[in-house]
Structure 1
Amino acid sequence: MIDMPEWQRCLDAQFGAPKPGQYRAQPEDFWVDEQLDFTPEAHGEHLWLRVEKRNQTTLDVVKTLSRLCGVTPRDIGYSGMKDRIAVTRQWLSVHLPGRDAPAELEQSLTALGITVVEQARHPRKLKRGVHRTNRFVLRLSGEAIEGDDFIGRWEALCQHGVPNYFGPQRFGPEGRNLQRAEALLNRGWRKRDDRQGMMLSTARSFLFNELLSARIADGTWSQPLAGDTLMLDGTQSVFGIDATDAALQGRAAELDVHPTGVLWGVGEAGEGDAGVYEARLLQHYPGLCSGLERSGVKQARRALRMRLLNPQLTWEPGAVLLSFALPRGSFATAVLGELILAS
């Protein structure tokens, strides 16, 4: 069975390992607000609700809405999964064709710790992955924020970007999701065993993190290599390069483009210097790689680096507040991993 490794941090070479620190001592220390780049159209069969929840998962809210509105969970849409130990805001949609929501819906939700911030009708169901960013406000404390290097670490991340690791929540407690994914892929993936595709996602996330860690160790994670596929900042647009030059290196330094890593699946093998890292994955984890290909999932790309959007730092007595936004699919825990050794 594959054991969970400790992946490389980008700031260790400059500052050494981070010092111990705490975050999420209480849900209010981890605040998340999902940001769409459009608004509901105020008419249609779907009721869209922007809700604030505390100490609940997104699926907890889906189950509650399903029960209160008399619909199936399939009739409820959401864009992203939000943390449980946190205060989070996000949109959900409920399919209510030709009828209003229950009269006491807001009051019933409030009694269960879910606040409706706003609501509107829309013609279509809210689909997965349509939000643009997540805005975070995180409160940190402990030895790490008292060190002389803390501000330097934060400024380095703001200037040069952050490794775009999948967070530990993707792999489950003690990496048990990864072990489940390995076992499933070894015996042959079947949709009935993984209806939401979580095991496929876990395996691909692990391989991506392994590739990113290797490129951090080699000092190549933030600069283009021959054979790289680059992603334009703030988009999912990608283009391949046969070789690198001063112009591309300059664009990468300005965070305009980012090298990408493979999300393993059916597709062409990487080439050039960048392709060497994919070949290593196949060499070290043949079971995961071949299992993903047999499942039929298509290869995709993910940026190795993410930019902190509108970053701000505010000091409080005994704590520091960090505020920033990240593109959808990126994890705030990747930022924290460079700043503190969580305890």
Structure 2
Amino acid sequence: MSDPPLSASDRTRHATRHWRTFAQLPTAFGGPVLNARLRARPEDFIVDEQLAFGPDGDGEHVLLRVRKTSANTEWVARRLAALAGVSVKAVGYAGLKDRHAVTTQWFSVHLGKLPEPRWRLLAEEGIEVLEQHRHRRKLKRGSLSGNRFQIRLREVAGDRDAAAARIATLTARGAPNYFGPQRFGRGEGNLFRAQALFAGAAPRASRQQQGLWLSAVRSQLFNEVLARRIERDDWATALVGDRLQLRGSQSHFLVETVDERILERMRSGDVTPTGPLFGEGEPLTEAAVRALEEQVAADSPDWVAGLAAAGLKQERRALRLDIEGLELEPVAETELDLRFQLPAGSYATTLIRELCQTSVV
């Protein structure tokens, strides 16, 4: 479902934006060392979704591993539902994937006692079913361990030795875990619509659409906290009052003393500092960390109040993005392949900008 158009008041707010755009957020390691063209073709951006579990092998749902080209996730869900003769509500998926790419991801379809459709008929529409398995439950959002990426960079210019050094730095130290620009919609429309929602002037919209707008506001506030910590050069440092998150978990704990045990866990990547996903309730941090987060909240009081009024709770998100299998491989004189794996909920764009200034066709 598409968002309603921006109203005249939304466009006025656009002229008085009070937040930093994604392009204005600071990088962690001195800016990109390469320039390149990105997404010249769909096959230049390949994403392979990794499920957090295996198929059950029986049940009323069918679990499908689908490869799609130049198609968004919701459109594929509608096509699967139509072929199966079920409501689109009977289709589940773990995450949204880029349209301008070749992506492999998982869907579930609740068939019940209906016959198995001829999934191969979707191939003419750019939807290729690679695997199908019976499963007992609908696939829920977030049921991922991560995503693997293979990205072709074209028309590459810059210092290749510096690029190799940057890859080593990112592998060792991680990247800022910003929410990517797609979180905010075209022209940051999700943020402007959220402002209208908080002011009681939003266009009519579904609960799902409003949820996207609220998520965009939380994401922008998180990005601002992370940006200020990067500017202070303590975004990947454990501070008294921080909440440290356990790697591979949503669990976190308060740092009361930064001792050798905490420092060693930071060095090993076992824990990482977190930033706020604002909502109702008191901040979860203390000391100078809490003061910084409260300053960000004070700069956008309507946003923070609106999130609390919507019933969202205080949550945390890792400030540091851990990267696995990061490689940069030459494939032609002016072309490079960038390969890596990221955990669920993170954005390839936040990693790429630490290495490369890109233009999109």
TM-score range, shorter chain: over 0.9
- In structure 2, the residue matched to 1:7 is 25
* 1:321 paired to 2:334: no
1:151-300 aligned at under 5 Å gives the runs 151-187=164-200, 193-196=206-209, 197-269=211-283, 270-300=285-315
1:205 touches 1:263 (CA, 8 Å); kept in 2? yes
Decide which moves more: 275-284 or 202-211: 275-284
For the structure 1 residues 182 and 18, does the alpha-carbon distance in structure 2 shift closer, same or farther, using more than 3 Å as the test?
A: farther
2:59 touches 2:136 (CA, 8 Å); kept in 1? yes
- In structure 1, the residue matched to 2:318 is 303
1:32 touches 1:137 (CA, 8 Å); kept in 2? yes
Please tell me the root mean square deviation across aligned C-alpha atoms, in Å: 1.8
Structure 2 residue identity aligned to 1:216: I
Residue deviations 1:78-135 (CA, integer Å, cap 9, x gap): 0000010111001100110012222x332x2101101001000101100110111111
1:144 touches 1:339 (CA, 8 Å); kept in 2? no
Task: Provide the C-alpha distance between the structure 2 equivalents of 1:188 and 1:303, rounded to a whole number of angstroms.
Answer: 33
Structure 2 residue identity aligned to 1:255: G
Task: Provide the C-alpha distance between the structure 1 equivalents of 2:257 and 2:84, rounded to a whole number of angstroms.
Answer: 56
Residue deviations 1:159-190 (CA, integer Å, cap 9, x gap): 10010010011112221221111221232899
Structure 2 residue identity aligned to 1:250: E
For the structure 1 residues 322 and 260, does the alpha-carbon distance in structure 2 shift closer, same or farther, using more than 3 Å as the test?
A: same
Query: Scaled by the length of structure 1, what TM-score is found?
Result: 0.94
* Aligned residues with identical type, % of pairs: 42
2:167 touches 2:326 (CA, 8 Å); kept in 1? no
- In structure 2, the residue matched to 1:105 is 119
Task: Provide the C-alpha distance between the structure 2 equivalents of 1:176 and 1:282, rounded to a whole number of angstroms.
Answer: 21
1:186 touches 1:291 (CA, 8 Å); kept in 2? no
1:186 touches 1:288 (CA, 8 Å); kept in 2? no
* 1:51 paired to 2:73: no
Residue deviations 1:165-217 (CA, integer Å, cap 9, x gap): 10011112221221111221232899964325101110000000000000000
1:144 touches 1:150 (CA, 8 Å); kept in 2? no
2:61 touches 2:109 (CA, 8 Å); kept in 1? yes
1:60-79 aligned at under 5 Å gives the runs 60-79=75-94
For the structure 1 residues 135 and 163, does the alpha-carbon distance in structure 2 shift closer, same or farther, using more than 3 Å as the test?
A: same
Structure 1 regions of 5+ residues with no counterpart? Answer: none
1:45 touches 1:98 (CA, 8 Å); kept in 2? yes
Give the superposition deviation at 1:311: 2.1
For the structure 1 residues 339 and 17, does the alpha-carbon distance in structure 2 shift closer, same or farther, using more than 3 Å as the test?
A: closer
2:279 touches 2:314 (CA, 8 Å); kept in 1? yes
- In structure 1, the residue matched to 2:53 is 38
For the structure 1 residues 229 and 191, does the alpha-carbon distance in structure 2 shift closer, same or farther, using more than 3 Å as the test?
A: farther
Give the superposition deviation at 1:313: 2.5
- In structure 1, the residue matched to 2:143 is 130
Give the superposition deviation at 1:22: 1.6
Give the superposition deviation at 1:309: 1.3
Give the superposition deviation at 1:314: 1.7
Give the superposition deviation at 1:17: 4.7
2:156 touches 2:336 (CA, 8 Å); kept in 1? no
Q: Secondary structure at the match of 1:224?
A: coil
2:196 touches 2:202 (CA, 8 Å); kept in 1? no
* 1:115 paired to 2:115: no
Structure 2 regions of 5+ residues with no counterpart? Answer: 1-12
For the structure 1 residues 134 and 208, does the alpha-carbon distance in structure 2 shift closer, same or farther, using more than 3 Å as the test?
A: same
Task: Provide the C-alpha distance between the structure 1 equivalents of 2:215 and 2:204, rounded to a whole number of angstroms.
Answer: 13
Q: Secondary structure at the match of 1:316?
A: strand
- In structure 1, the residue matched to 2:352 is 336
Give the superposition deviation at 1:71: 1.1
